[in-house]
Amino acid sequence: MQPSPVTPSIAPITPHAPSQRHTLLFWTLGALACVVAWDAAGQDLAFAQVFGSSNGFPMRDQWFFVQVLHEGARRLGWQLVLLLALSVWWPRGFLRKLDASERLQMAVSALLSLAVVSITKNLSATSCPWDLAQFGGVARHVSHWALGVLDGGSGRCFPAGHASAGFAFLGGYFALRHKLPSAARWWLAGALLAGFVLGAAQQVRGAHFMSHTLWTGWLCWVTGWLCDLAATALRPRFPHFASTTTPPDSSHA
């Protein structure tokens, strides 16, 4: 009698507890309220004037801000996206404790977050601070909520694209939080820190207003949450992709 083939164990698919959903909704709406409050206070221009004047922004071409915090961080962000994509099939470290669908969720949520910010930015008529007349440019300051109103500049500056190199990884928190809650919290803290540091660097250079960075963070968070909801709904349809079997570590072969 031939033994029956061994099938991979499948993690039980359970819906998110109502308390978890309520907590996420609370933080999401709370963050939205804070971002809207900043917009309503109209502090973007005043905050930008801390770093710039009618002569422009002195740190615009400063080597560290340009080569490290802009170009270097952008390349590092794309390298991390590539590593997440490769980890779907060849995971390393703590990612080996996730199933393939959760690793795919991390990669997809990052890519979708980048896409959401990029598409929104390309549709925006809002110009960057360094384009404004107050800072030596030609554009006038117009709220990004004045849809369809041109400010006389080049536009395509809202929300902050560069900050998404950090915030895009917020979605990883949702994929990690069920099996690796401690790693999820560290991942969340790292993505938030990276996003705000990169956003602040662009603020100092005159490339973005603070509201641009805040909206990027919120959009990436919501995109990550929506990816998590979609992944939870789709996993029962692809049980073999949600196998809890950990692939062997080839480095110890």
- Other CB atoms within 10 Å distance of the CB of residue 188: 19
Q: What is the pLDDT of residue 221?
A: 98
Query: How many domains does the structure of the chain reveal?
Result: 1
Residue carrying structure tokens 């554009």: 139
Query: What is the per-residue burial (b if ≥16 Cβ within 10 Å, else e) of 87-101?
Result: bbeebeeebeebbbb
182 within domain boundaries: yes
78 within domain boundaries: yes
239, 246 contact by CB (below 8 A): no
What distance in Å separates the CA atoms of residue 76 and residue 85, rounded to the nearest whole number?
A: 14
The per-residue pLDDT for range 124-138, each reduced to its tens digit, is 999 999 999 999 999
**Number of helical H runs and strand E runs in the chain:** 9, 0
> What is the residue range of 120's domain?
56-124+159-241
Q: Where residue 8 falls among pLDDT bands split at 50, 70, 90?
A: very low
pTM above 0.85, yes or no: yes
> Which residues, in sequence order, are bridge partners of residue 243?
10
Q: What is the pLDDT of residue 148?
A: 84
190 within domain boundaries: yes
1 within domain boundaries: no
Exposure of 248 in the CB half-sphere (CA atoms within 13 A): 4
